[in-house]
Structure 1
């Protein structure tokens, strides 16, 4: 895998796709005549049938999507894939309108999946799932993000298909400082990670470079929630499953651990005062051992720092527990219900589950399931290899989940404040979790 420096597609996709399926807004297609969301005449033997399919994409992802289209057309030359490109800042607004039009793109990333399903704008893919066997090819924690039932994400019929690729959120480390503090292997659990941080602190090395003026300790906090609650329980909250709650003993324990690290002095003293860009500079300047960030960070670090850092997945709570991490899938699309080429579009979705599509994703900076590489994450391997191996390990453990900020807008608003209060020891873990739960419940009422 080659992480392309200077490409902004990774950061754009992480920001855009993280909101897919979770935006609560009224669909623009409510007054349009209903389309048939159930495909008829489902066929998989269409690779040699002449067809043209349109893929709607954001400008920041154009090169990536074109690479996927080219690879597909090389395998299926009878089918032409045309890109329809929209400015990044307009995409989420324009996509629903296009899907509701009389001439929609055949394939698109849908910003509001529940609204699109409600308004009949996207195709029920269950028949294609059965025909192609996607449920056996793609990790459930990835594929289930495209299932909708009674207005809820995570169960029911499938409306988003494709493969698994996206950024890896994990632990970046400075190789020189790791040697200095005696980190000779990747920590097997949180206790071992904490031991390394204690050694760093005792040798005068800041254990964690963090920015919390913009709430980006939230990456670490979400990883801790994943370790303590498990990926499925976090997804239940994000997908608004009835009865799901942020206020659990496990969430309080995860929150307490974050505050314990702050009290122990494991963060830079001005963590609450600096933003993301400043933290990148601090890390690249050797001012801290660890950063908890996504693989999009490789695009922001200076070229002179290449080879000086590595990445590994967040260690589990206990050795042997499943590896977990947040991600945003970049190989996932819906088929417009008004598409005239559903079978050809479904063949494209099936292609996205292939090693060839995964290789295109990797070439564009996205680790992907299905890319051949190291089976285990090694401390000595280069960062690109580590990111791919880490992503593959989490895919194998079915451990992907999404940020709790993506549950309801109120949590996204309240979380930075609670994290700042936690780091400055101005609240308790119980109160912080209680506030987040109140925001969650209030947000559910607003979006119901």
Structure 2
């Protein structure tokens, strides 16, 4: 999740749609018919080369893609997969140009947010998956709570509803990692409530330890910290409305102010490591893995790196809620796989999407240390950190719990706006009120324009 960052370039392109929209040939491309006939007999398609762009470059992420690609080609010998795997940041900066050209890849992983998937839908650069959803039964495979993260209206204006434009493989949850050895050394019990967690931060600080590790050069990591605090203090329905950019929602509420003040209080109290805005995310989790902090708020995708580095010392929990409140956490899905409008083999591409997200694929994801977005309860994860992550995801997706959207989904430019404002908040250059005013200005401008 690194996966949730939307680059400044992408945000600017979304604003300057005339400049960054597809080339002339794509501007003429007609809207795709959601009821188009489809072919599911891949063998009958003849020799096919599928170009697939993904960002599954790390450890178990790369392993599961290699295994699934090999299995797909064994099943369909007539298909050759040409895979291009890029880092999340590289994919974000190159994908827009790639899918607007005449030689667009067939399958791409596109960030769910408005600056990428939303803009691509509006520019008619992605195919609606509705015809294949009917043919392959994806509406039964994926619950509505998952599909909303890859759904837009055909004009790209409304997020979380409309047509399906992507299929995810993995689930994501932002929770709290802790170093059990450090807790034991400091005589601190693993937190069971939000009050326990805050008391543990204070006790760790008093003992001379670093309570919370954070690297925020990229700006998006602090969004996860704010989101985790917000999830405990703000009604879930209010967060959902804000994250999906609904009109009538507001950032300048007493509950959001309490969340912003809490993050500012943590920074002022010295709960974070020094130089958070000059430390990148990789440096942060590596420092945590070396025992340089007691806790770290981060996404489930870090588990594959932390488990081999820390062994049984590292644990993971969903954010423990305040007493009497349901469990709530930021999260959703990994980057979904989508079919470009320029694909010359959309039916083969759809078969590929089906293959890498089917129940057998979910088993492969589990075996390679990833978190399946569906069929999670049917899997048997390894003991230790992987088991913790599966348990946390099951906890926040249970009835009456809340898995809440990423905050940068709200507008095409929210990642940069909120990221910069949070850097100022952490550094003491903005008050919580000024932070919310900056975020609200971005939000109001978008909602007014978007209708």
Whether TM-score is above 0.5 comes out as yes
The residue aligned with 1:283 is 288
After superposition, the C-alpha distances for 1:73-99 in whole angstroms (9 at most, x for unaligned) are 45x436625124265566446544554
The residue aligned with 2:264 is 259
Runs of at least 5 residues in structure 2 that lack an aligned partner in the other structure: none
* Matched-pair contact (CA < 8 Å) for 1:190–1:317: yes
Are 2:81 and 1:82 aligned?
Answer: yes
Residues in 2 aligned to 1:223 and 1:374: alpha-carbon distance in whole angstroms? 27
* Matched-pair contact (CA < 8 Å) for 1:223–1:326: no
Q: Shift in Å at residue 110 of structure 1?
A: 3.8
| Residue among 249, 254, 271 paired with 1:249 | 254
The residue aligned with 1:117 is 121
Q: Shift in Å at residue 334 of structure 1?
A: 1.9
Runs of at least 5 residues in structure 1 that lack an aligned partner in the other structure: 1-9
The residue aligned with 1:200 is 204
Residues in 1 aligned to 2:223 and 2:307: alpha-carbon distance in whole angstroms? 24
The residue aligned with 1:441 is 444
* Matched-pair contact (CA < 8 Å) for 1:50–1:78: no
Are 2:175 and 1:170 aligned?
Answer: yes
Are 2:148 and 1:144 aligned?
Answer: yes
Question: SS state of the match for residue 352, structure 2?
Answer: helix
Q: Shift in Å at residue 395 of structure 1?
A: 4.2
* Matched-pair contact (CA < 8 Å) for 2:317–2:388: yes
| Residue among 233, 238, 243 paired with 1:228 | 233
* Matched-pair contact (CA < 8 Å) for 2:52–2:107: yes
The residue aligned with 1:335 is 339
The residue aligned with 1:321 is 326
Q: Shift in Å at residue 256 of structure 1?
A: 2.4
Residues in 2 aligned to 1:438 and 1:352: alpha-carbon distance in whole angstroms? 40
Q: Shift in Å at residue 366 of structure 1?
A: 3.0
Correspondence list, 1:301-380, <5 A: 305-319=310-324, 321-327=326-332, 329-330=334-335, 332-370=336-374
Question: SS state of the match for residue 435, structure 1?
Answer: helix
* Matched-pair contact (CA < 8 Å) for 2:126–2:340: yes
* Matched-pair contact (CA < 8 Å) for 1:309–1:383: yes
Residues in 2 aligned to 1:18 and 1:390: alpha-carbon distance in whole angstroms? 32
After superposition, the C-alpha distances for 1:363-414 in whole angstroms (9 at most, x for unaligned) are 5543223465699999xx5112222332343344684444434544654344
Residues in 2 aligned to 1:203 and 1:93: alpha-carbon distance in whole angstroms? 43
Q: Shift in Å at residue 170 of structure 1?
A: 1.6
The residue aligned with 1:160 is 165
Q: Which has the higher helix share?
A: 2
The 3 A distance-change label for structure 1 pair 138 and 392 is farther
Residues in 1 aligned to 2:91 and 2:31: alpha-carbon distance in whole angstroms? 25
Residues in 2 aligned to 1:122 and 1:409: alpha-carbon distance in whole angstroms? 17
Residues in 1 aligned to 2:189 and 2:50: alpha-carbon distance in whole angstroms? 50
Normalised to the residue count of structure 1, the TM-score between the two structures is: 0.78
After superposition, the C-alpha distances for 1:251-293 in whole angstroms (9 at most, x for unaligned) are 1121222234345553346656655455445433433311112
After superposition, the C-alpha distances for 1:162-219 in whole angstroms (9 at most, x for unaligned) are 24405542211111122234454552x3223223334434544432233456654432
* Matched-pair contact (CA < 8 Å) for 1:245–1:437: yes
Are 2:425 and 1:429 aligned?
Answer: no
* Matched-pair contact (CA < 8 Å) for 1:375–1:389: no
The 3 A distance-change label for structure 1 pair 110 and 251 is same
The residue aligned with 2:184 is 179
Q: Shift in Å at residue 140 of structure 1?
A: 3.3
**Please, what is the CA RMSD of the aligned residues?**
4.1
